[in-house]
Amino acid sequence: MNAQRGPMRRLVVVGGWGVRVEMLEELYRFWPGPIELVSLGDDLIGRCESVGQVADELLSRYAEPSVWMGWSLGAQVVMEAANRGAGAVSAVITLAGFPKFIADERWLNGMSVEEFGVFSRGLSRESDRYWVHFLLLMINGSASVLSERQRLKKWLGKGSPVSKVNLVKSLGWLEQTDQRLLWSQVDIPVLHITGACDQVVATWAGALEARSSSVEVNVPGMAHWPGGVFAEDCCVVIEKFLQSLEGVNA
């Protein structure tokens, strides 16, 4: 990302379910401006009861215009913040995001109810084991799964940064939240980056009618983790998006 070109923008980065936001470091390392990092950890989840409340909490912290980037569940948080129309979100980047996590008869692009139920029950019994299972599921199907597994080792070694009670609580948010209408109506610039090989949720690219200000890019070979082997591909897409914002107040 070219630090010499374009206006200085602050970046607010929101991590995903049960993971440290620092896992996205390769995507924000060269950002040409201030960076605010937000993990969906015990402190934040413990004070909030929904994705919307998390968005409101973060808007109270970061009120000046910024680009907001969210990964997985974090994508729902930043889209909710954008929908508030508070002026704090000038543009959005979602990574492996989704408007609805659970599939149904009208939305085939999510995790099946049966698979989610198995995971949810397992998490309630053995949170550590199922947290590891989720991290491995993030790279499942990747065109570079062996390299990705090697890169994940240090994160697996750190263990879950979130307590069992809050892993279960925030998993409930994934089950309950449906943002399809919201994602179709947001009218600020939005970049959605999805993985063509994502096995956490099937890619929804093209399945949702959105405004012309929203751009969808499906990265070949990428699963649910946008870092690691595919960080460079994502950075190229993000750079192109940022170039398109030149001249736009942000």
Q: How far is CA 79 from the centre of its chain?
A: 10
Domain housing 183:
10-244
What's the confidence (pLDDT) of residue 86? 80
Contacts of 113 (CB under 8 A, 6+ apart): 102, 103, 104
Q: Is residue 157 part of a domain?
A: yes
Q: Is residue 115 part of a domain?
A: yes
Q: Is residue 5 part of a domain?
A: no
Per-residue pLDDT tens for 46-96? 999 999 999 999 999 999 999 999 999 999 999 999 999 889 999 999 999
CA–CA dist 123, 217 (Å, integer): 32
Per-residue pLDDT tens for 157-187? 999 999 999 999 999 999 999 999 999 999 9
What's the whole-number average pLDDT of the chain? 92
Q: Is residue 209 part of a domain?
A: yes
Q: Is residue 249 part of a domain?
A: no
Q: Is residue 48 part of a domain?
A: yes
- Here the tokens at position 166 are 């809050």
> Looking at residue 202, which CATH number applies to its domain?
3.40.50.1820
Amino acid type, 10: R
Q: How many domains does the chain have?
A: 1
Tell me the whole-structure pTM to 2 decimals.
Answer: 0.94
Per-residue pLDDT tens for 12-23? 999 999 999 999
The total of other beta-carbon atoms located within 10 Å of residue 188's CB is: 18
Q: Is residue 111 part of a domain?
A: yes
Which ranges of the chain does DSSP label H, i.e. alpha helix? Answer: 25-28, 42-47, 51-61, 73-83, 113-125, 127-139, 145-158, 164-176, 180-185, 231-244
